[in-house]
Structure 1
């Protein structure tokens, strides 16, 4: 599901549409909420409230919902924000994708794509702030900024640029960061709406050393060391050459926005050789968790999963569900260490938020 300014690559879309939509076994997880429309980002807010971004099913069906009691036998869900734009068709929709929450109840949400690229006049590509009362305001038009940045740096990916598809957001340490899956960038968005590109993620390489599109950063998590860890999808390379996704470490304090040489070299690989990553988070024990879109080369039978990686040994990997998930997206870890995942995030009806069984 290689993300570009148009969404997922058409050839991959056709392969995914062949997936049988019968439910998988749920021995390794419990469904916390069902009947969701393209659930993506997950984030815990104050009081143990779990928020989920729903990209919707077209038109203005995008929304942000709140789940209370996610760890109980009777969780309750309500919509916090509704009426967000949703674009797409054939079971794969984009809209509000990434989500991050502050301790005071403020949410940050990132909308996919770019109005400049699509020709729409909407909130596509915008970073939204939602106050505790549910009031929404646009902070910055990240999509159009990144589209223009890639147009100025076409040489970095001549077959892909210009492009933009903001997908993940993280509010941490008084700053707000956005990962753009189309532009291959990590951005800093300031409170006044100004945007700076901090880091660029290079396309993976084929065995002969030639770049393969597209790195596709899909998630941001703050590590125990205070650095940012960004996971990539790297779908095209993974399908052709085996697991090619990576988790990069970025020290935002070392960034020099405007210095292209620093921007191109700021991200350093932390964990490599992973299946395509679609969401990530750190747990209270310091472990890194990432949803894996497919653990094998057959997208008609993807065996999607979640991998656990110890912070002190990124070469160690543990799969948590036995491949029972189907096209997962966002990951969030509760204060008690319970892992939650957006499941059926695309192509499969009845989107879910699930809680993984303890291991």
Structure 2
């Protein structure tokens, strides 16, 4: 399926005029942030695609879109799914990470989980025309293998029932999936579909707010929660983790090709995406920086456009760019792109999702 939905460069200003007061100026006030496409529905992961285009996973509409950053044209490639959160491509196929709705507190899992892509979590493989050719049930793998070793209890019975794939990286022989529910990065063999555990980030217990914090029975500390996976120079892999949205608990784990840790980037908060350029500079989305989390209702003049930032990490040096509610990031053709306003609908804000180009002059110490 290839449906051209809209051409939005030039229309972006119109969309911003319909947003709450103060929203339009927030993007314009930060030099170097350029909206290249708008009208998206809960954009999550952004990946490089063919012909200098970008792939965007749209969680709210259950679609995968192609974006031309030169013109702003948005074309639907895949539709009819639910909770589309991650996407990448290789060998003429699209690899789509589909999540699941948050379960009600204390609720037992359904007797028969919904199908993958229709409320059930997993990896959906489509051809170039958006036709589904295979589905991989990652919840089944979680239930059978429990990579993080944690167990929940519902009505006194042990249940380890969470899988919520959030980002994917398609490589030559495998697809790596950052599964935020399973607290693990999984590897799916591209030929056989066999699933294995690639990396399990440890529970964080060395920052205030996580040390001794109650978790599942037998566990304390903050779950790492993988949210992004990217490849950098020399084949190194970078995995961003949310860190339970506790200040300083988010991490980026730097791994070798086998999944062994070679470095850890610490002191981050609510990391929801990661990208690496050819020089090894790391970019991390911070979804909730500036949000009044745990501080009661926001002030009447609170501007939601000020929530979120992208952190640039070049060795020991760090700088930030204000990007509204960012998630997925990608470096494509030397340019950094990110999903913005990615959870606006979840926060009941009347603002479309966007893909933005983040220039180097947007970053400040």
Query: What is the TM-score when the length of structure 1 is the normalising length?
Result: 0.75
CA RMSD across the alignment: 2.9
Q: Which residue of 1 aligns with 2:40?
A: 36
Count of aligned residue pairs for this structure pair: 301
The answer to whether 1:184 aligns with 2:162 is: no
Once residues 160 and 100 of structure 1 are traced to their aligned partners in structure 2, the CA distance between those partners, rounded to angstroms, is 31
Q: Any idea what SS the aligned residue of 1:272 has?
A: strand
Once residues 132 and 96 of structure 1 are traced to their aligned partners in structure 2, the CA distance between those partners, rounded to angstroms, is 17
* C-alpha contact 2:330 2:337 (8 A) present in aligned 1: yes
Q: Which residue of 2 aligns with 1:200?
A: 200
Once residues 285 and 109 of structure 2 are traced to their aligned partners in structure 1, the CA distance between those partners, rounded to angstroms, is 28
Q: Which residue of 2 aligns with 1:277?
A: 271
Of residues 51, 56, 62, the one that matches 1:47 is 51
Mapping for residues 159-174 of structure 1, pairs under 5 Å: 161-174=160-173
Q: Which residue of 2 aligns with 1:244?
A: 249
Q: Any idea what SS the aligned residue of 2:140 has?
A: helix
* C-alpha contact 1:147 1:164 (8 A) present in aligned 2: no
* C-alpha contact 2:291 2:308 (8 A) present in aligned 1: no
Once residues 132 and 99 of structure 1 are traced to their aligned partners in structure 2, the CA distance between those partners, rounded to angstroms, is 13
Unmatched runs of 5 consecutive residues or more in structure 2 = 1-19, 213-219, 299-303
Deviation by residue 1:100-148 (Cα, 9 ceiling, x = unmatched): 123x443211111389945542222121122222222234111331244
Once residues 170 and 156 of structure 1 are traced to their aligned partners in structure 2, the CA distance between those partners, rounded to angstroms, is 29
Q: What's the CA shift for 1:285?
A: 2.9
CA 1:212–1:160 in 2, change beyond 3 Å: closer, same or farther? farther
Of residues 125, 132, 153, the one that matches 2:149 is 153
* C-alpha contact 2:146 2:160 (8 A) present in aligned 1: yes
Q: Any idea what SS the aligned residue of 1:225 has?
A: helix
Q: Which residue of 1 aligns with 2:17?
A: none
CA 1:46–1:288 in 2, change beyond 3 Å: closer, same or farther? same
Q: Which residue of 2 aligns with 1:357?
A: 359
Once residues 96 and 196 of structure 1 are traced to their aligned partners in structure 2, the CA distance between those partners, rounded to angstroms, is 22
CA 1:160–1:167 in 2, change beyond 3 Å: closer, same or farther? farther
Once residues 41 and 285 of structure 1 are traced to their aligned partners in structure 2, the CA distance between those partners, rounded to angstroms, is 22
Q: Which residue of 2 aligns with 1:258?
A: none
* C-alpha contact 2:233 2:279 (8 A) present in aligned 1: no
The answer to whether 1:83 aligns with 2:86 is: no
* C-alpha contact 1:143 1:166 (8 A) present in aligned 2: no
The answer to whether 1:331 aligns with 2:329 is: yes
Of residues 114, 124, 149, the one that matches 1:121 is 114
Q: Any idea what SS the aligned residue of 2:27 has?
A: coil
Larger Rg: 2
* C-alpha contact 1:117 1:163 (8 A) present in aligned 2: no
Q: What's the CA shift for 1:303?
A: 3.1
Q: Any idea what SS the aligned residue of 2:240 has?
A: strand
Q: What's the CA shift for 1:227?
A: 2.1
Once residues 48 and 331 of structure 1 are traced to their aligned partners in structure 2, the CA distance between those partners, rounded to angstroms, is 15
Of residues 84, 89, 101, the one that matches 1:101 is 89
Query: What is the TM-score when the length of structure 2 is the normalising length?
Result: 0.74
Once residues 250 and 350 of structure 1 are traced to their aligned partners in structure 2, the CA distance between those partners, rounded to angstroms, is 35
Once residues 152 and 332 of structure 1 are traced to their aligned partners in structure 2, the CA distance between those partners, rounded to angstroms, is 28
CA 1:270–1:121 in 2, change beyond 3 Å: closer, same or farther? same
Q: What's the CA shift for 1:48?
A: 0.5
Q: Which residue of 1 aligns with 2:66?
A: 66
* C-alpha contact 1:113 1:143 (8 A) present in aligned 2: no
Q: Which residue of 1 aligns with 2:217?
A: none
